[in-house]
Amino acid sequence: MIKTRKKIIILSVLMYAFSLRAIVCFADDSRGTISGFSLRQAVGARSFGMGEAYVAISDDLDALFSNPAGLAVVQKKGLTAMYFKGLADIQTGFIGYVLPLKKEKESSLAIGLLSLHGGIIKINSSDGSSHSFNAQQDYIGMLSYARDLYGGFLVGGNVKLLRSTLVEEYTAQAVCVDLGVMYRFMEKNLNIGFSLQNLGTGIKYIQEKDSLPLTFKGGIAYKLNFEKEDYTLSFFDEAPARSNTFPGWIFSLEVEKPKETEFKGKMGFEYGKYWKGNRYLLRGGYKLGYTPDTYTCGIGCEFKEFQFDYAIGLMNDSDFLHKVSFTLRFFT
């Protein structure tokens, strides 16, 4: 009787978790394990606001989820916290730290921890009792290194350790790596980036081992300045002495190919302007090949060492997803 009840509970949880996976991934039909969608999360509000067309940008801690090679251009130490609450009570959080290595030209080391809570599921038994369980709890630890090999050719790698628990009882672990490259040219205003994500061991909860969601990404990003005499730094560099005359655009295109599904497309933009010593940002994006196709938009504000980003995505005619990020940069 007890074993039968456990089987019913596990079956219910699996069905529940798969439905959560579909919701979080905007009904993306990518296949993989239940834990696979936690490896596919891009929790940063900046990248989400740009439609996640980020593989050729990746100039902050969002690079841990898109292209680790971009971390090489980070010039200031930074601490970032991100939070995302989806539908069906899924909650995803992330905290990370990036450290530029001053002894080497354009290289950085970063660490991060992602936590995904799959919500509470309640099971009513035939004897009238009820039980509540955490449907799924995932933790992913990340360690990344990136550097500029020569002349704007960036390389980077990301090691991820996944620990996933279903219904508070069945636990599985997996190890995987992300590899990324990026090339900057045309005075560092044009970037091309590629990444291969989740290359590693499978994951097994009970008996059968499932593969991880191996994904290839490639993209291009272009930086457009209208007043270069007021802003002559590169695509990823720090702002000039808080110029309030800077109008700048970033346009980005990306293709994504999960192992088990067709190609998907992403596009996005970011517009930034300095005003009275602070930087204000407006973003928009579109994800093609998803069900349904998804529009996103977002805003950002930089106040000296502190940055706030917010993004929203339209899932269908009435449902929206929200993401928030906070970043603190250390200038000493």
Secondary structure of residue 276 in the 3-state scheme: coil
Facing residues of 327 across strands? Answer: 80, 307
Question: What is the tens place of the pLDDT at every residue in 70-85?
Answer: 999 988 899 999 988 7
Res 281: pLDDT: 93
Q: Select the more confidently predicted residue: 244 or 286.
A: 286
Q: Is the pLDDT of residue 39 over 80?
A: yes
How large a percentage of the chain has pLDDT more than 70? 76
Q: Is the pLDDT of residue 2 over 70?
A: no
Give the residue among 52, 23, 48, 51 at the shortest CA–CA distance from 37. Answer: 23
Res 144: pLDDT: 97
Task: Record the pTM.
Answer: 0.81
Facing residues of 314 across strands? Answer: 295, 320
Q: Is the pLDDT of residue 143 over 80?
A: yes
Q: How many domains does the chain have?
A: 1
| C-beta atoms surrounding 224 within 10 Å | 12
Phi, psi values for residue 229, rounded to 5°: -65, -20
- Structural domain range at position 63: 2-330
Dihedral sign, Cα of residue 103, residue 106, residue 107, residue 108: positive
| C-beta atoms surrounding 298 within 10 Å | 27
The CATH number linked to 266 is: 2.40.160.60
Average pLDDT over every residue of 56-62: 92
CA distances from 309 to 11, 110, 272 (A): 38, 20, 13
Question: What is the tens place of the pLDDT at every residue in 249-300?
Answer: 999 999 999 887 889 999 999 999 888 878 899 999 999 887 655 889 999 9
How would DSSP label each residue in 169-215? TEEEEEEEEEEEEEEEETTTTEEEEEEEEEEE--EESSS-EE----E
Q: Is the pLDDT of residue 110 over 50?
A: yes
Token pair of 234 as six digits? 């590169």
